[in-house]
A and B are shown apart, each in its own frame.
Chain A
Amino acid sequence: MIADLDQRRAVGPEIHGAAPTGDLAELWEQHQLDLKLVNPPNRRKFKVIVVGTGLAGAGAAATLSELGYQVEAFTFHDAPRRAHSVAAQGGINAAKAYKADGDSVERFFRDTVKGGDFRTREADAYRLAELSVRVIDHMTAQGVPFAREYGGGIATRSFGGVQVSRTFYARGQTGQQLQIAGSQQLLKEVGAGRLKLNTRTEMLDLIVSEGRAVGIVVRDLVTGEIRPVTAHAVVLATGGYGNAYYKSTLAKSSNVSATWRAHKRGALFANPCYVQFHPTSLPLNSEWQSKVTLMSESLRNDGRVWVPAQPGDDRPPNEIPEEERDYYLERLYPSFGNLAPRDISSRAAKAQLDAGKGVGPLRNGVYLDFSDAIARLGRKTIEDRYSNLFELYIDATGEDPWTEPMRIAPGPHFVMGGLWTDYDGMSSIPGLFVGGEASFNYHGANRLGANSLLSASVDGWFVLPWTVPNYLAPQLGTDPLPEDHPDVQATVRQVREQLDALLSVGGTRGPDYFHKELGELLWDHVGVERNAHSLAKGADAIRDLREEFWRDVRVVGHGQQLNQELERAGRVADFLEQAELMALDALDREESAGAHFRTEHQTEEGEARRDDENWANTSAWAPPGPDGRPVRRSEPLTFERVPLATRSYK
């Protein structure tokens, strides 16, 4: 296998994240003193591009604009509020310690590092925990209607994988409320004439000149016009690539194109194999179901997960007596029970499905049962907590969770991988900053529930507005590249060529066909469990599919109009490239860590076995060299504050 691997990838020199050293608790404060400032009257001389208007993008754009920089924001949606941050249901973590349960910044930091299975930078994870407190203050001030206690304080709840109550929520719509608050701040700047917002405009390439990110090429999705936009710095906040699996919990338009095209311009892509499978998605019922619907993990606070003890038990759930049910999470992980972390829950569910104990028409789900909680807490309490989720379930399935258990299944959800960034959120291309899920940061090999809204908020509101100016300051006196600069024109030309190439294949199948095929390959080969043989096969199959795509794709219509097939085709073409790197990274990483479970690397109890000696690092991939092999570089990770330990949720 190793020989085979060497044909597939090269290994490059180590990289370092430039995290300052010292006492973690003082690092960020100290670092802020080191960051260069831009004098207020000079800020208007700098232009910053922000791509994406989700939590990270809206936060960075609004704050930089408030500070006085020229900000131009881009979204492919018709309105900034649509970004996929809107769909996160469960909540946002913060170490406010509003309950006397022993929570603190330090504990939150440790939970994040441990939850990530020791594959994240300590310094960055600490900053995440530290700034979480500010995020709640900021979002409350913006009018986010966080759930309240009777005394007027802010309510919190406990969320998958932790033993304290630090998750803030706004009914089941936390992401929506944070996202709306963020887009309102963005629109406030637009209304004040300080920020230029481009809706229905998609970034198709990054312009790099003399090694720096100096702009982007965009396509107006309504008119098809291709144009360059140049600036002093570019921020990508374009979300994750989980839609590579086609049927994922992500929105249909979520894609990898912005980050992937930046990668092709040289930005290192870190840990592409770390994909989180959400244990509480709705199982698919038919071929036409357009996506995997996510049910918030918060349901696991009160629901009990079980399957029939006997494989092939076809009885309706309520006819299966208590003693013939297997509450397998409570049995296998007594101290965490139904709140076991996502990867463990997903894998445990997959094991039950593989054992033939799946339930539902396609036998592809497990039960999530609320009858005990309803009996214990009363229907009113459960309604307060989950009414909209129950409604969503009833609507999607036609089944009533008040009278029979829900069915749930693992679904591709959040990706921990993304563009590699340093402590300042800057990618390996100077001037290109990355925030939110588009970046690889904070979560290591597995993300704690309710940490995704947090990491996007922290990046957008409280990190990038400090670090981007540090990059800008020395450039005082320079102008963005003129549009007729050869580097700008060359990138525009290449974008046109790719669009023309897609339109001129003239094959027989639409891009969606290839996307579905890709999704199945990924689910089979780069799924909840991986092994070397299957990964190698998967990588080859992805390559074949990509070749077939470029031979046989049919993109109807033309480029000078609103053409959603052309948009899809470009995104699928990128997924077909990036997916191979996902498989390659999974093949390369000879260990199990967090969401990356290699069956060759497990303990006797079937738990993930890390290899800290060889793999306590971040893999950061450079685009293929002249020999066609992607180059894997590694950033070593050291753990001083949280000693390396094996996770145990038993």
Chain B
Amino acid sequence: MRLQLEVWRQDHANDPGRFERYQVDEAGAEMSVLELLDMLNAQLVDEGREPVAFDHDCREGICGSCGVMVEGRPHGPVDYTPSCLQRLRSFSDGDTGRIEPFRSEAFPVLRDLVVDRSGLDRIIASGGYVSTPTNAATEALTMPVNRNEADQAMDFAACIGCGACVAACPNAAAQLFTGAKVAHMASLPQGQVERAERVRAMVDTMETDFGSCTNMGECEPACPADIPLRVIAELNREYRKALWQHRRTEEPDRRGIRWLSRLRTGPWWQSDPDERPPGGG
């Protein structure tokens, strides 16, 4: 089928950018959105023009690299599906399709359809992990896990980190992403010790880089990993509980926001010695 494409072109982060129109003559319904871009790019290269830059890798819906807006929807017209698995079945001959980068203040465009999603990693770096050093783990069977709870943890852990939830959100909020990690860790015994600290630190970071959730629910259908909206309720509950605990124990906040600036400024050995975090080497 023949498709008219309007594709966002932007040479670099500071370029204002513009839509350009292209025509692809032999798109197939079984092709994915990314294969359509492959086809367009082959055409552009043949004409000696610069191809459209876009992030992609596994093409199996698991790496989370890809993500473009198709007709204003993150990943494309089909709900719960990443761009690499979005087929062109809903398009017909002569249709026009508009492809642009994930639109979100939290995701600056680097070039064409490529955006900077490092804000998501900053959320994880502030607490989305279990602090068990290598070689310190006990025999895995010492902590039995209820099968249904393990299943539920897996549901939450399935997030592929693509950022579609943020792109879908009118507020550029990252509650679905953060909630998925917090809910994953909260449902397993291994995550209990740092439970309160984790959610406090992650939410604090999230609020620095992303907008605030107003319960629009736009994120859920955009999520290729089927993360349920209830993780946001879970996140709020965990956060309230953590604040309460914090008041109760007044523990030193070793993951305070002070060290998060390191994510932007570099590691300890390049910093002022007085600013070094505890335990840094």
Task: Give A residues with C-beta under 8 Å from B.
Answer: 43-44, 59, 62-63, 66, 68-70, 72, 77-82, 84, 86-87, 96, 98, 134, 136-138, 140-143, 145-154, 170-171, 173, 175-177, 180-181, 183-185, 187-188, 190-196, 199, 222, 251-253, 285-286, 288-291, 293-294, 392, 395-396, 398, 461-462, 465, 509-510, 512, 554, 556-557, 561-565
Contacts and interface: CB of A to CB of B under 8 A. Distances in A.
B57 A82 contact: yes
Nearest to B149: A148
Interface string B96-117: 0000000000000011001011
B65 interface: yes
Interface string B144-174: 1111001101100110110000000000000
Size category of the B interface is: 35 or more
8 contacts: A78-B116, A188-B125, A191-B122, A193-B268, A199-B118, A252-B56, A252-B59, A556-B45
A190 B125 contact: yes
B211 interface: no
B31 interface: yes
Given A145-B188, A170-B154, A194-B267, A251 B135 contact: no
Contacts of A86: 58, 62-64
**Which of B11, B140, B151, B184 has the most chain A CB atoms closer than 10 A to its own CB?**
B140
B185 A143 contact: yes
Contacts of A66: 133-134
Given A143-B157, A152-B144, 13 more contacts: A62-B134, A70-B269, A87-B63, A142-B130, A148-B144, A187-B129, A191-B127, A191-B259, A191-B260, A252-B58, A392-B85, A396-B85, A462-B134
A260 B131 CA distance: 36
A84 B130 contact: no
Most buried by B among A62, A134, A136, A180: A180
A187 B57 contact: no
Interface string B179-190: 000001100101
Q: Which of B61, B121, B158, B255 gathers the greatest number of chain A CB atoms within 10 Å?
A: B121
Contacts, number: 254
Nearest to A565: B51
> DSSP class of B's interface residues: helix, strand, loop or mixed?
loop
Nearest to A60: B134
B279 A192 contact: yes
Contact of A510 (B45, B133, B157, B161): B45
Given A140-B140, A285-B30, A286-B28, A195 B267 contact: yes
Given A79-B161, A145-B150, A185 B138 contact: no
Contacts of A80: 121
B130 to A, nearest CB: 5
Contacts of B42: 510, 512
Nearest to A172: B62
B124 A184 contact: yes
Contacts of B16: none
Interface of B: 11-12, 28, 30-32, 34-35, 38-39, 42, 44-46, 48-51, 53, 55-65, 81, 85, 87, 110-111, 114, 116-118, 120-122, 124-141, 143-147, 150-151, 153-154, 157-158, 160-161, 184-185, 188, 190-191, 255, 259-260, 262-263, 266-271, 276-277, 279-281
B137 A143 contact: no
Contact of A395 (B87, B145, B153, B260): B87
B12 A561 contact: yes
B117 A192 contact: no
A176 B188 contact: no
Contacts of B48: 554, 556
Contacts of A465: 134
B111 A561 contact: yes
B228 to A, nearest CB: 16
A251 B57 contact: yes
A396 B32 CA distance: 9
A294 B59 CA distance: 10
A150 B149 CA distance: 11
Contacts of B51: 510, 556, 564-565
Contacts of A170: 154, 157
Nearest to A196: B267
A565 B87 CA distance: 25
Contacts of A177: 154, 157
A40 to B, nearest CB: 9
A79 B62 contact: no
Contacts of A564: 51, 53
A556 B30 CA distance: 29
Contact of A134 (B125, B135, B280): B135
> In this complex, which of B30, B150, B271 has the most chain A Cβ atoms within 10 angstroms of its Cβ?
B150
A627 B147 CA distance: 63
A151 B158 CA distance: 23
A556 B42 CA distance: 12
Contacts of A62: 134
B190 A140 contact: yes
B118 A78 contact: yes
B99 to A, nearest CB: 16
A554 B145 contact: no
B262 to A, nearest CB: 4
Contacts of A152: 144-147
B176 to A, nearest CB: 16
Given A150-B147, A187-B124, A288 B45 contact: no
Given A62-B134, A171-B154, A176-B160, A188 B129 contact: yes
B30 A286 contact: yes
A356 B125 CA distance: 54
